[in-house]
Amino acid sequence: MENLNEKKCIPCSGDIPPLDIVLKRKLKTQIDGEWEFTHNETRLYRSTKFKDFATPLALAAAIGALAEEQWHHPELTIGFGHIDIEIWTHKIDDLVESDFIFAAKVDQIISKVLS
Ligand SMILES: C[C@H](O)[C@H](O)[C@H]1CNC2=NC(N)=NC(=O)C2=N1
């Protein structure tokens, strides 16, 4: 089976049905354990801590470039020592597979910085 981070986000459209909760919970096992569901399991949220501001800033730039490439955009909050990432499909205000694909790709970017 293809890993999530090898897949490509499908352009968001209003007619994609949200994933059912069973599939959401199954896909969540395929992304980093730091991710949590928020907003009644309709969003993915990850907050990662650092010892500086430069690293969250650089991560925001890298994740932003990924978002433009995938045409799937997260909400990012950065500050001294942290980056908070929230992902969902705005068009339907819920989660589809592309959100988990994006999260898996974000995990790859973060793990490179942490390694
Ligand atoms: C007009 C543009 O294609 C759409 O708004 C795209 C852009 N990026 C997006 N990103 C996310 N997370 N959800 C969307 O629904 C979405 N839609």
The superfamily (CATH) of domain 19-114 is Transcriptional coactivator/pterin dehydratase (3.30.1360.20)
82 in contact with ligand 1, CB cutoff 6 A: no
pLDDT in tens, the chain (115 residues): 689 999 988 888 778 898 999 999 999 999 999 999 999 999 999 999 999 999 999 999 999 999 999 999 999 999 999 999 999 999 999 999 999 999 999 999 999 998 8
Amino acid at position 110, single letter: I
DSSP track, 5-69: GGS-PPPP-TTPPPPPHHHHHHHHTTS-TT-EEETTTTEEEEEEE-SSSHHHHHHHHHHHHHHHH
ipTM of the complex model: 0.94
Q: Which atom of ligand 1 is nearest to the CA of 74?
A: 12
- For the beta sheet containing 36-38, the strands, ordered from the edge strand earlier in sequence to the opposite edge, are 36-38, 43-49, 82-87, 75-79
Tokens of 40: 């009644």
89 Cα: distance to centroid of ligand 1 (angstroms): 7
Contact 31, 110 (CB under 8 A): no
Burial of 10 (0-12, 13-18, 19+ CB in 10 A): middle
16 in contact with ligand 1, CB cutoff 6 A: no
98 Cα: distance to centroid of ligand 1 (angstroms): 11
Radius of gyration of the chain (CA): 14
43 Cα: distance to centroid of ligand 1 (angstroms): 14
